[in-house]
């Protein structure tokens, strides 16, 4: 089965700890994303990567770090610098890195993993 | 700055009713718009994607329309069923060279009563 997996499903963090959330995809997508979801605030972009060994900050990158050593994997580390980390974290990947000239819609469609719920104790 | 708004925040309808969910965005220069469904505690499931050059897309009982000039999209659900109960989110992608980033609305929580 092709898809996006996230682990763990639930994660508890103590004050001052760094924790790492896993995201793996076997869809052969070049681009991957991390979003954070809080009640009543929708999804906000943390980091994204369009190609291996390259990534960019999203709208709320402070207190987070990522790496993209393999095409299939895009782990997110929530550092102790993130003051309010309790949230639902969603990883996504996207089809098609080409332009409007490519055939075969839908392209540039984002697909999401099942999420990781992080709680600070 | 692109902002996406979904109204209403919550909607309750009896089974069998046809319904429309609304999504509006402030900047009409979008690359595409995507509708998602989210069940409680779960990830997002992509329903429909409309490219900026398209007016609508259909999948089964779902039909999504796009009016870029007015900054609006609607998701039409025909003959609603209790299994349609979920939160529906719309998201816009601003431009091709923006890294594929999506700007999300806050969602409409739909409840279909048997």
pLDDT, tens digit (0-9, with 9 covering 90-100), for B73-93: 999 999 999 999 999 999 999
Q: What is the mean pLDDT of chain A?
A: 88
CB atoms within 10 A of CB B23: 26
Bigger pLDDT: A120 vs A2: A120
Considering only alpha carbons, which residue of chain B is nearest residue A115?
Answer: B43
Which residue in the set B51, B100, B104 is minimally distant from A94, CB to CB?
A: B100
The answer to whether the Cβ–Cβ distance between B106 and A41 falls below 8 Å is yes
pLDDT score recorded for residue A103: 42
Please report the pLDDT score of residue B1 as a whole number. 86
pLDDT at A15: 85
């Amino acid at each position: 089965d092709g898809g996006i997996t996230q682990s763990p499903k639930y994660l508890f963090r103590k004050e001052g700890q760094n924790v790492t959330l896993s995201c793996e995809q076997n869809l052969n997508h070049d681009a991957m994303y991390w979003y954070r979801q809080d009640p009543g605030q929708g999804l906000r972009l943390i980091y994204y990567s369009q190609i291996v060994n390259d990534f960019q900050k999203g709208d709320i990158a402070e207190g987070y770090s990522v790496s993209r050593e393999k095409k299939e994997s895009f782990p997110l580390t929530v550092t102790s610098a993130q003051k309010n980390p309790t949230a639902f974290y969603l990883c996504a990947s996207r089809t098609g890195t080409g332009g409007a000239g490519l055939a075969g819609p839908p392209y540039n469609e984002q697909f999401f993993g099942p999420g990781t719920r992080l709680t600070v104790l | 700055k692109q902002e996406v708004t979904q109204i209403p925040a919550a909607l309750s309808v009896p089974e069998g009713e046809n319904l429309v969910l609304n999504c509006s965005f402030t900047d009409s220069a979008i690359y595409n718009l995507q509708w998602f469904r989210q069940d409680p505690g779960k990830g997002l499931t992509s329903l429909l994607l409309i490219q900026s050059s398209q007016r609508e897309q259909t999948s089964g009982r779902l039909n999504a329309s796009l009016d870029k000039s007015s900054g609006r999209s609607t998701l039409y659900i025909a003959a609603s069923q209790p299994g349609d109960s979920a939160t529906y989110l719309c998201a816009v992608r601003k431009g091709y060279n923006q890294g594929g980033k999506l700007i999300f609305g806050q969602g409409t929580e739909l409840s279909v009563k048997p």
